[in-house]
A and B are shown apart, each in its own frame.
Chain A
Amino acid sequence: MKDEQLLREVYEGSYRRLVTGLYAISGDLTVAEDVVQEAFVRAISKIRDFRKVDNPEAWLRRVAINIHHTRYRRAQQLSFLYRRAEARPADPPPDVGADHLDLIDALRALPQSQREAIALHHFMDLSVAEIAATLNVPDGTVKARLSRGRAALAERLRELPEEVRHA
């Protein structure tokens, strides 16, 4: 029970931040909530292992990202795969962020690696070193992904004519 109480405190303190970050990665609030909840469920199901974790939020973040990879990546991949344009499933309309459709579209258009770096840095306030640890890549790779991701986002937002940009 003591372990679950600790996890409850983590849940109260980090759930919304984790969901926000996973939203930026997945582009879907329902998916984000689902994978974050699943990460907590796994922590509870392995509570004896979880209490040995030094940084519970980092563990949950990593697990949530991995769950997203395994569960939802295939569906996303299908939309990115090279195939008939008319057969390509359209991205679902955003369930939140109606005032920022351009940014959401631009995030969805990023390669997964860049989108994760952007999400962890700009939506979860992680440092380059923390992102590197989360994604298990060198710091330089994180910097490159952030640089490329930001450049691509800025370019995509800049390319949209003012009259067609959303509010």
Chain B
Amino acid sequence: MLEVEISELRREVDGAIGQPPFEDLVRRGRARRRRTVGLGAAALAVVAGGTLMGLGPALQQGTDVPPVERPDEPQAPRSAAEIIDDPTSRLYAFESLDDGLSMAVWARDDCNDAYCPVALAWSEDDWQTRADQLFQDWVEVYPLDDRFLVYPDQGKEFLLTKDDGRIDLAEPGPAAPATDDEVVIDVTRPRGIAMLDPVTGETHGVLRPEGMGLTWIDRMADGRLGAYGPRTSDGVGIYATSDDGGTSWVQHEIPTPIEGAWMVSDGENVVVSRYELDGVELTISTDDGRTWTTVSDMPFNVTECLDLVDGTLMVSYGSHLYRSTDPGLEEYEEVTPEGGGSCIWSDDGVITTIAADRSSALQSADLGTTWTIVDSR
């Protein structure tokens, strides 16, 4: 049925599309090209100390071009330089990486007291030569959706990894890193991870596990660091723990492919949830990664978020929430609050979710048995 509806919608959309003459776009493109030449010459002039010598023709060409009139165009994104210079922009991280990739992470200005969407951009060129460019001209801009929100009150944050020359985002949800008192901006370096405290600005270095890429790192309830990622030599999934701040790591292989998998660990119970097109497979350890069991045929087809709360696995699927005190036995109980819930996260045993219609936040202190609306702004 879904395929049929999609096919019908495609036909309807195709019939409604208006295609302007190509010449219209050519005119706009040529005008912008001329204007860009002018602006580039002006920037070069500034860099050269303000002299316009030799740049007159180019500038003249630029100033002769009337601005392209696009009255319905939204306000252009602020430039990276503007965001960095703006003390209210809450820039969390700004890095020029060794291999020429430059990136910036900032909290957007549509934060409220509880939630703050985060955006990420990076450039393939050297940052310093591109700082005056708009983000929309960068290679990638990832305004992160609601599942990537930073929750200052709950200490939720996100993880950026750079593995095998690539920057990637860890999947969101409780499997993303969580710490009690610091927002962690993790950019893996050739030798480690930088943690940035947004309040003090202090950075904390952590050596990453030898021979591992990272998709997840967390400071667990017992104070140890937990990490999850592929072994770079063969791609086998590795769960690693460190009790000395990342100087040394104990590594355990995980008997499940790592692609598309999320992990959550409380230092004793470790759950890897992996999705395939035909459903969910959980790989579970109850002895901190030493031994594993794999179960499938879950009562949910997908898991949006995972969290371990006092040894109980909490799972969100669509607008439904489940819990299991023994996930290896496939015993799950639905604990969805009235009106449905979305992604879940916990702090000190209190579980929080957002109502399915996003009109309110709900919390439970008894593993989902009862829920209380804590805010309905």
Residue B329 is within 8 A (CB to CB) of chain A in the complex: no
The answer to whether A81 touches B110 (Cβ under 8 A) is: yes
On chain B, the residues within 8 Å of A47 by CB distance are 29, 33
CA distance A139 to B8 in the complex (A): 28
Which residues of chain A from 19 to 61 have a CB within 8 Å of any chain B CB?
19-20, 23, 29, 33, 37, 40-47
Is B304 positioned at the interface, with any CB of A under 8 Å from its CB? yes
Q: Quote the shortest CB–CB distance from A73 to chain B (angstroms).
A: 4
> In whole angstroms, what is the CA distance A123 to B3 when docked?
10
B25 lies within 8 A of A11 (CB): yes
Number of chain B residues whose Cβ lies closer than 8 Å to a Cβ of chain A: 65
Q: Are A70 and B143 in contact, CB atoms less than 8 angstroms apart?
A: yes
B171 nearest in chain A by CB position: A141
How far does the Cβ of B119 sit from chain A's closest Cβ, in whole Å? 9
**B6 pairs with A74, CB closer than 8 A:** no
Is residue B53 contacting chain A, with contact meaning CB distance below 8 A? no
How far, in angstroms, from A74 to B240 measured CA to CA in the complex? 37
- Asked whether any CB of chain A lies closer than 8 Å to the CB of B19, the reply is yes
**Which of A7, A69, A100 has the most B CB atoms < 10 Å from its CB?**
A69
Cβ-defined partner of A77 (8 Å) among B28, B110, B361: B110
Count residues of chain A with CB under 8 A from any CB of chain B: 71
Is B302 positioned at the interface, with any CB of A under 8 Å from its CB?
yes
Q: Is B244 an interface residue (CB 8 A)?
A: no
A2 at the interface (CB under 8 A from B): no
B233 beta carbon closer than 8 Å to chain A: no
Q: Verify if B333 is at the interface (C-beta below 8 Å from A).
A: no
Binding site for B on A (CB under 8 A): 4, 7-8, 11-12, 15-16, 19-20, 23, 29, 33, 37, 40-47, 66-67, 69-75, 77-78, 80-85, 88, 95-97, 99-100, 102-104, 111-113, 122-123, 136-141, 143-144, 146-148, 150-157
Q: Which 6 A-B pairs have the closest CB atoms?
A: A44-B29, A140-B259, A140-B260, A85-B359, A144-B260, A112-B145
Give 13 CB contacts A-B under 8 Å.
A15-B17, A20-B14, A29-B13, A29-B16, A46-B33, A70-B136, A70-B143, A82-B115, A103-B2, A103-B6, A140-B258, A141-B259, A148-B304
15 additional A-B pairs beyond A37-B25, A70-B141, beta carbons within 8 Å, are: A19-B13, A42-B32, A44-B26, A44-B33, A45-B30, A45-B33, A81-B112, A83-B358, A84-B376, A85-B376, A88-B358, A96-B12, A136-B140, A136-B168, A147-B275
Q: Which residues of B contact A (CB under 8 A)?
A: 1-3, 5-6, 8-10, 12-14, 16-20, 22, 25-26, 28-30, 32-33, 36, 74, 77, 108, 110, 112, 114-115, 117, 135-136, 140-143, 145-147, 166, 168, 171, 257-261, 275-277, 301-302, 304, 318, 354, 357-361, 376-377
